[in-house]
Structure formats: C-alpha cells, structure tokens
Chain A
Amino acid sequence: MNEFIEQFLLESRELIEQATDDLLTLEGRPDDKERLDSAFRAFHTLKGAAGIVEFAAMGRALHAAEDVLAEVRAGAEPVTPELISDGLACLDQVVRWLDAMQEGGETPPGADAAADALVRRFNARSKKAVAPSEGGAWSEALAARHPDIRATLAIRYRPDSGAFFRGEDPLAILLQTPGLSGLEIEEPETWPPLGDLDPFVCRLSFLALASCGLDEARSALKAVTNQVEIASLHPAQAAAFGVPATARALMEAQLRLLGVANAEGIAGRKAAAARVAANVMRSLGKSSDADRLERASASGDAGAVAAAIRSILAADAIEGPAEDARTVDVAPAEAAARTLRVDVERIDALVNLTGELLVAKNALGHAAVLAQGGGEAAALAGLLKDQHGVLERLVDQLQRSVLNIRLLPMRYVFQRFPRLVREMVVSLGKPAHLATEGEDTEADKAIVEGLFEPILHVLRNALDHGVETTSVRTAANKPASATITLRAARRADHVVVEIEDDGAGIDLERVRTVAANRGIASADALGAMADEELIDLIFAPGFSTAAQVTSLSGRGVGMDAVRASVDRLGGRVAVESRPGQGALVRFTLPFAVMMTRVLTVEAGGQLFGVPLDGVLETVRVSRADISAIGAARAFVHRARTLPLIDLAEALGEGRRSPLKAQADVVIAVAGGQVGGLEVDRLGERLDVILKPMGGLLAGMPGLSGTTLLGDGRVLIVLDLHEFLQ
C-alpha cells in the first residue's frame, strides 16, 4: 500500500475517533461549544484528508455533515439525537470505506451511492440547504426563454463579490452540474469605468437550466450552497429522477426482451439485457446497481435479471445504503493495528540507552585486551564484575523501554464503547449510560487491543440481563437510567479492568435451574455449590440465562467466550454479584505480554518452562496418596480430587517406573481447570521474553514458545491449556 494512503488511513481513524467522542459528548451536553467546535474540526480535517487522496465520495459525504454542523454552530439548528445519529452514521460509513481501502489499497468502488445517500440524509436535515423553490418567477422566465430545452431544474447562482479571492471559479463550479444548458450570464446594471474595475471582485451572476436530479445538482453545487438557488421546473419529474426517462425506456425495453416466453436463446438474451441495463446504470453513476445486475446475470436466470431491473425501476434504488449505515458493525474483524504511534520521548530514551550500551561494550573490549595481555586475574575479575553490573542495569532498562513502547492507554479501547452502548440502549429500550474511569491506565498493546471483544460481551450481558427495565428500577427506588462503569487500574504487575452495573445482580436460582436443565452440572452438585461457584457457572460453555434470544446477546456466544478471550491474554476473570444492587466482572491481566515469568521443571530429562501465572503451588505427594482411576491417576489435595498428569508421558516419553517415594507436583490452573503435573525436578523462576514457535514447530499443541537460557540451551515453555483441558 502506498505510504500516502497508509498515513491517510492512520490519521483518518484518529479523526473518526475524535469526532465520535465529540458527538457522543455533545448528545449529553448539547451546549458544549468546545466539543462542537472539535467535532466540526474533525469532520473538516477528514474532508480535507479525503481530498488529498482524491476520494471524492468521502469528501462529499463529509462536506454534507460539516454543513449541518456549521449550522448547529451558527445556532441555526439544535443538537438532536437524530443529528448525532446521522453524524455517527456518516462516520460509520467512512470507517467502512477505510476498512475497504486498508484491504484493497484503493478507494472502494460503489462509494458514490453510499455517499449520495448520506448527502441526501444531511440535505434533508439542513434547513438552509438549497431547497427547490417552487415556481419562482425567474425560473419560469428562464425556462420560457429556452423553450427548446427540456430541463428539470433552474439554477440561479449569485457568487458574492469575494468569490474570486476565495479561489472559486463560479463558471467552472456551475458547469459541473450534470446536464447543464442554457447558461445566461447576468452583469451588473452599470460597470465602473474600465480603469477603475477591480478584476478580482466578482460582479457577475448566472442562470442556467439543468436536466438532472435535485440531489445531483445540490451535490455539484455543494461548495457554494449559500449562493445558489435551485428551482424545480417540473417537480414531479425531478422527484422521480432515480432513473431518467430515456434510461427508464431502455430498461423497460430490456424487460420486454426478457419477457418473451420462448425459451430459445434466452441465455443470450439474458446476458445481453443485463449488460445493457448495467451499462445504463453505470452511465448514471449507479455502479452498485450495475453490479447488482451483473451478479443477477452471472448467478441467476433470466427471471433474476428481470426482477433486478424491476426493482431498480420501482425503487429509488440508491436509497439503500443509508439505512444499513445505522447498524453498528462490531465485527470488522478487529484487525490489530499494525502501526504503532509512539511518543518521541520513548524513542529518545532508547537512543540514550544505545549510547550507554556502546560505552559498556567498549569497556568490555578494554577488559578483553587486559585479559589477553595476561593481566592480574583478581583485578580482571573485579573489572568484569563491574562491567557485568553496568550491562545488567542497561539491559534491564532497555527491556523496560522496549516494553514501554508497546504500551497503550486503555482509552484506545474504552473510547469505542460509549458509542456501542448508545446503540445497545436504543435497541433494548433500557436507558443506561456508560461511565469510564482510568482510561489513562496503560497496558501492552496486545492486551489493550485484545480487550475489545470480552468487554463488549460483558457490556452486552450487563445491559441485556443485568439492567432491569425502567419500571422495575423505579419500583426498586433506583434511578431510571442505569449506570455501567468501565474502569481500569494498574495493580502491581497487573492491569485490572472492571465492568460494573447497578442492575439486578445475578439471579442464583435461575443459574441453578439453567445449569441443571442444560446438564452443566448435576442437581446434587448444584445444591452443594457455594454462591461463588454457582456464579462461576455462567462461564461454562453453553450457558446462557437469557429467557429469550435477543439481537444483543444469547446468540450462543456466552460468557465462556469472555473467559476464553481473557485467558488468551494471560488473564483471569472473576464475577461479583450483589443481588438487587448489581454485578461486577473483573479481568485481571498481565501488564505486559512479552515478559513471562516461568518456573522451570525437568521432565523426561529435559527442561521445560511452566508459566508462573498458571501455577497455584508446588507440592510433594506421596506415591501412596496417588490412586489410579482407569488409565488416569488422581490425588486429593486440599479436599479436592485433582487429576495427576505425568508431564514426561504427556510429552510423549513413556511413563517410567517412579524412582522417588514422593512425586514433585506442580498444581496448575488453566481455563478454570485445576490439575497436577508430575515432574522429575522443580527448577527456578525466570523472567523470559517468549519467542512464539515458528517454522515447523508453529501450531504444535502444548507449546507456547521458546526462550534461550543463559547457558545457551533452549527452554520450551508449555501451554498449560493443552494439558489440563
């Protein structure tokens, strides 16, 4: 992809985030001038960016949005939820275009139709937008002067005197209107003497006829809206301008061609009719319709083509895209951003470190020379020890600096939720708002990016199941609008993200019933469970307490997906519930993913690393306490029966006869499963930077990565999930 486009995508996404944030704040505080200005600037800058990459459709859509915002700024229009929705819909569309560009590297095809729809939407709302004035005397007179021209619109364009100064070329602008004819140039009644004429003050005005749709004319003259009047000459005809008369006739002719009952040569007829119809649509700039016709021709029979033509003729076929623009695409693959914006200070810190490392390297060279020259061993040892100390400090700093580069504030993911919550609230009809805290909390890029999906699931669940309806809330003496708090905080080596709602809390009885009904646990087991264990069941695969499947949750993607996502990030999920007061879901995540603390263990004569996050404790178990259950083995630990897995055997070595009377066991947890891993020997704790498995070993189950040990050996780090599932 060209660098230019890459930069454009990067900046546009930032601007969209800014604009979304501003719009959402504006909705709550319509009088916030600063936010309004900021939103306006964001739209304006986005429009400019679209111009730079010559993405005209995007420019047009944003220009229309900008106009409406300008009216709001001027006090001509109030901030309404509809206006915010339109603004957000426009941004959504832009995001879709950007996604398409990211994939294809080019401005997406079919953008024009979507842009038209947006422009129409904004024009409909814009009070000052060129409204077709009915039967103005000037327009009738103009049409009368050109009886030979069949036009739908009359245009009067009176550039203000500063037009040339602003770089506008009124004639050129006017002549862009499709189907323009009958141009008349009006001059002032008197001109100053030629010697006094300022050539850069515009004194002309223009009249013209046009045969095109009102929207097309409006968008062509968008840049000079306030200086233009457009009058419909034949209002009915102009309104039905989705497909102009000649095009309509051509399309109908294709229908007749297809309508012949004789099946002979129908395939050829179909292809020809579709081609002609597609060309007609393309000539009108409606490439999406053209594509539709071609698809119908390629995949369907003559009937499909005929149906497509009919529906284009029947509908003002370009209406479609604006409606889709309302639905929120949560899916867009959540492709992790491949570029990282880094504070210059962090780079500077690296540069400084590089300098210090060079000094340390030179000092080592000096020590090496001394050693070669047969220097005194004790002095050399001292020198080397010092150098090692310096290097250790520097490497430690370097490691921290590099990890810092990957740090992103939670804001990066949090800022997307107010928008989504707003959409969910609208579709559920339960008033709620989202409060965020600790957006500045930083965590590794992979963590922050990976949090979007699980947080979204939890928010959906909170809104869908946790938050009560308004009437229930009022009866319970709670504020009608629910509050969902999304907060992040740093706790030592961990980042904690909490999603708390003030809803009804988790209905334990219901959990019990559902778990029993779905066979997640037996009735006896359920009866014996403590409350916390019961709550934990909501993470069980296949569990969903939704009484009815809504569009938001209950689509089979339950809280088990949340646990899986958070597990993948190396974190843990916990739930707290206070009946009647709300629920809190807490993710505890590692601060950095690159650094892993491992416990080394020996099994089958080889050294392995076990991620310390998954290690609960290490114990010695007497052989006598290990009982065989079928082919497997188990032992009782802290009143729980745990499966015991022989690591060497699990890794493909045969089980050897036990040498020791006691087994060294690592009690580990992964994905909610607890089990014991029998190892030959326990080693030490290490901080390592994991290299993911590559080449032939990529995708090998049970291994999560490798690292080099100080003595040059390779340490393979195990993926506990594989062993415990």
Chain B
Amino acid sequence: MTVMLAEPGIIMLSGICPADDAEVLLRLLLGDADAIVDWCECESAHTAVVQVLIAARRAVKGPPRPGILAAMVEPELKGR
C-alpha cells in the first residue's frame, strides 16, 4: 500500500501514489480528525492526492523524496 495508517495519528504516503490513493487518503483523514500526513517516503503523487492534501489542510510532514514533488509541489503546499 502506498497510503496507510502507519501508526495511530500518522498517515504515511510512500512510493508513487496513484489517483486511487486520493480516496483512501480521504477516508483515513475522515477517520482521524487529528492525524497528520507523513510523505517523507513519497516519490510522486497524482494530482488527486495532492488535492486531498490541500483541501484537508492537515499538517504534512516532509519533505518528500527528492524529485519534482519535493522541488515544486512541496514548497507550494508549505506556503499555505
């Protein structure tokens, strides 16, 4: 699984997260109103996943793995 509840309160994104992960991520976020998202192991994520992260406005622990996600998307998310 590229998105999972790693331990109570921490949702992990790892590897390459496809569009379907958006739904799983949303469900996990709804299930735990205080959970933070850790995407340190994430290499890339579909726009749908990024959209859920933006809409949820949760704390996100980063940066993701070096790559375009870390270089371009993470700074954008952090600024919010």
Contact = CB atoms under 8 A, between A and B. Distances in A.
A175 interface: yes
Contacts of A169: 19, 46-48
Contacts of B25: 199
B72 A204 contact: no
A187 B55 contact: yes
A194 interface: yes
B6 interface: no
Nearest to A159: B47
Contact of A204 (B30, B44, B47): B47
Nearest to A199: B22
B50 A185 contact: yes
A202 B76 contact: no
B73 A171 contact: yes
B48 A194 contact: no
A41 interface: no
Contacts of B51: 199, 202-204
A425 to B, nearest CB: 51
Interface in A164-195: 164, 167, 169-172, 175, 180-181, 183-185, 187, 191, 194-195
A260 interface: no
A200 interface: yes
Interface in A524-541: none
Contact of B52 (A180, A181, A184, A197): A197
Contacts, number: 65
B47 A172 contact: yes
Given A180-B72, A185-B73, A194-B30, A200 B19 contact: yes
Contacts of B52: 197, 199
A194 B52 CA distance: 9
Query: Which of A159, A169, A184 has most chain B Cβ within 10 Å?
Result: A169
Interface in A434-460: none
B79 to A, nearest CB: 9
A342 to B, nearest CB: 44
B68 interface: yes
Interface in A119-168: 159, 163-164, 167
Nearest to A204: B51
A200 B48 contact: yes
B56 to A, nearest CB: 6
Contacts of B42: none
Given A180-B72, A183-B72, A184-B76, A191 B22 contact: no
A596 B1 CA distance: 71
Interface string B9-27: 0000000000100110110
For chain B, the bracket of interface size reads 20 to 34
Contact of B56 (A170, A180, A194): A194
B19 to A, nearest CB: 6
Contacts of A164: 19, 22, 46-48
Contacts of A175: 68, 72
A195 B47 contact: no
Contacts of A191: 55
B16 to A, nearest CB: 11
B37 interface: no
Contacts of A202: 47-48, 51
B29 interface: yes
B54 interface: yes
A511 B46 CA distance: 76
A191 B44 CA distance: 24
Contacts of A171: 46-47, 50, 73
Contacts of A170: 47
A184 B68 CA distance: 13
Contacts of A204: 47, 50-51, 54
B44 to A, nearest CB: 8
Nearest to A180: B72
Nearest to B19: A164
Contacts of A172: 44, 46-47
Contacts of B47: 159, 163-164, 169-172, 202, 204
A195 B30 contact: yes
A200 B26 CA distance: 11
A191 B68 CA distance: 26
A521 B48 CA distance: 84
Interface string B48-71: 101110111000000000001000
Contacts of B19: 164, 167, 169, 200
Given A169-B46, A170-B47, A194 B76 contact: no
A197 B52 CA distance: 8
B15 to A, nearest CB: 15
Nearest to B48: A164
B26 A185 contact: no
Contacts of B54: 185, 187, 204
Contacts of B23: 199-200
A159 B55 CA distance: 17
A197 B73 contact: no
Contacts of A183: 72-73, 76
B52 to A, nearest CB: 5
Nearest to A195: B30
A164 B51 CA distance: 11
Contacts of A159: 47
Contacts of A194: 26, 29-30, 55-56
A171 B54 CA distance: 14
Query: Which of A170, A187, A197, A203 has most chain B Cβ within 10 Å?
Result: A197
Nearest to B24: A199
Contact of A185 (B22, B56, B76): B76
B50 A199 contact: no
A171 B30 CA distance: 25
A197 B57 CA distance: 13
Contacts of A187: 54-55
A171 B19 CA distance: 12
Nearest to B72: A183
Contacts of A200: 19, 22-23, 48
A22 B72 CA distance: 46
17 contacts: A164-B22, A169-B19, A169-B46, A172-B47, A175-B68, A185-B73, A185-B76, A191-B55, A194-B30, A194-B56, A199-B26, A199-B52, A200-B23, A200-B48, A202-B47, A202-B51, A204-B50
9 A-B pairs with the lowest CB-CB distances in the bound complex, closest first: A199-B22, A171-B47, A183-B72, A191-B55, A170-B47, A199-B26, A199-B23, A185-B76, A164-B48
Interface of A: 159, 163-164, 167, 169-172, 175, 180-181, 183-185, 187, 191, 194-195, 197, 199-200, 202-204
Interface of B: 19, 22-23, 25-26, 29-30, 44, 46-48, 50-52, 54-56, 68, 72-73, 76-77
Given A187-B54, A194-B55, 17 more contacts: A159-B47, A163-B47, A164-B19, A171-B47, A172-B46, A175-B68, A185-B76, A185-B77, A194-B26, A194-B30, A197-B52, A199-B25, A199-B52, A202-B47, A203-B55, A204-B47, A204-B50
